[in-house]
């Protein structure tokens, strides 16, 4: 089973490397969203520190959402998804591989870029570390939950808009605890409770969401 998941991850990563524009678009969107707020708000450092957790986490969330419509769309168009569904292996494990590959292409680069953008908000070293760790910890949940929405809207006209309407309410707990961890660090409080809840959401999103997404894909393929 691990070999199957690794094969799916390797395949999706190879396909992503053939389309570097998609990855650049996600990162560029994150940079633009995070950079416009300091320019619009002004140079007041106290206000920037207060806005930083929410702005950076909303930017990461929207950047992840931007890449979700392509999660299954290409495989659906060329018939690969039907072949995966007809294979003797559980479809949920294959979806798990695609979710991990999506996180490696979208969530991980966002986490690595976050501390650089956090410097614009005059965040301390501790806050930058928590920001990076919270995005690193929370984005797998965004990919897992987003896979459910991508499966439900697969093949629908205007599926991108519908995907946003389905997924965004489910993203709210991840946003609250992710931004709350950074805000607690900026305020001098411990971020342990927020990070623990964020880890629980990630475990649920990675372990259970792929199986729900697999059911949604089977419905879309019928």
- CA-CA distance, 66 to 31, in Å (whole number)? 14
pLDDT at 1: 75
Q: Is the pLDDT of residue 213 over 80?
A: yes
Q: Cβ–Cβ contacts within 10 Å for residue 144, how many?
A: 27
pLDDT at 34: 86
**Using one digit for the tens of pLDDT, what is the confidence trace for 171-185?**
999 999 998 898 888
- CA-CA distance, 178 to 78, in Å (whole number)? 37
How much is the mean pLDDT over the chain?
86
Using CA atoms, how far residue 167 sits from 27, 144, 160, in Å, is 20, 10, 11
pLDDT at 49: 83
Measure CA 5 to chain center: 19
Burial class, 208, CB count within 10 angstroms (exposed 0-12 / middle 13-18 / buried 19+)? middle
Q: Which residues contact 93 (CB under 8 A, 6 or more apart)?
A: 1, 4, 5, 210
Q: What percent of the chain has pLDDT over 90?
A: 20
Query: Nearest-CA neighbor of 184 among 127, 123, 137?
Result: 127
The answer to whether residues 28 and 59 touch, using CB atoms and an 8 Å cutoff, is: no
> Angle at Cα 108 formed by Cα 133 and Cα 136, nearest 5°?
20
Cα Rg, the chain, nearest whole Å? 18
pLDDT at 18: 85
- Domains in the chain: boundaries: 2-221
For range 24-46, the mean pLDDT: 84
pLDDT at 199: 92
Q: Is the pLDDT of residue 158 over 70?
A: no
pTM: 0.88
Render the burial of 78-98: b for 16+ CB within 10 Å, e for the rest: eeebeebeeeeeebbbbbbbb
Q: Which residues contact 94 (CB under 8 A, 6 or more apart)?
A: 4, 5, 8, 84, 87, 214
Q: Which of 100-109, 147-156, 194-203 has the lowest mean pLDDT?
A: 147-156
**Using one digit for the tens of pLDDT, what is the confidence trace for 109-154?**
999 999 888 888 888 888 889 999 999 999 999 999 999 988 888 8
């Amino acid at each position: 089973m691990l070999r199957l998941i690794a094969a799916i991850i390797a395949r999706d990563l190879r396909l992503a490397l053939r389309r570097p524009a998609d990855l650049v678009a996600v990162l560029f969107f994150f940079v633009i969203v995070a950079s416009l707020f300091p320019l619009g708000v002004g140079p007041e450092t106290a206000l920037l520190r207060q806005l930083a957790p929410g702005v950076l986490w909303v930017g990461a969330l929207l950047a992840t959402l931007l890449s979700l419509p392509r999660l299954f769309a290409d495989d659906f168009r060329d018939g690969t998804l039907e072949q995966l569904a007809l294979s003797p292996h559980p479809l949920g494990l294959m979806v798990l591989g695609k979710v991990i590959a999506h996180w490696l292409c979208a969530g991980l680069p966002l986490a690595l870029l976050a501390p650089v953008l956090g410097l614009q908000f005059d965040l301390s070293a501790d806050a930058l570390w928590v920001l990076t760790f919270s995005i690193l910890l929370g984005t797998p949940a965004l990919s897992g939950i987003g896979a459910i929405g991508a499966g439900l809207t697969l093949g629908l006209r205007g599926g991108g808009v519908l995907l946003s309407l389905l997924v965004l309410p489910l993203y709210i707990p991840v946003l609250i605890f992710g931004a709350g961890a950074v805000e607690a660090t900026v305020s001098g409080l411990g971020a342990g409770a927020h990070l623990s809840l964020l880890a629980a959401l990630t475990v649920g999103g990675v372990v259970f969401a792929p199986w729900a997404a697999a059911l949604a894909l089977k419905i879309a393929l019928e």
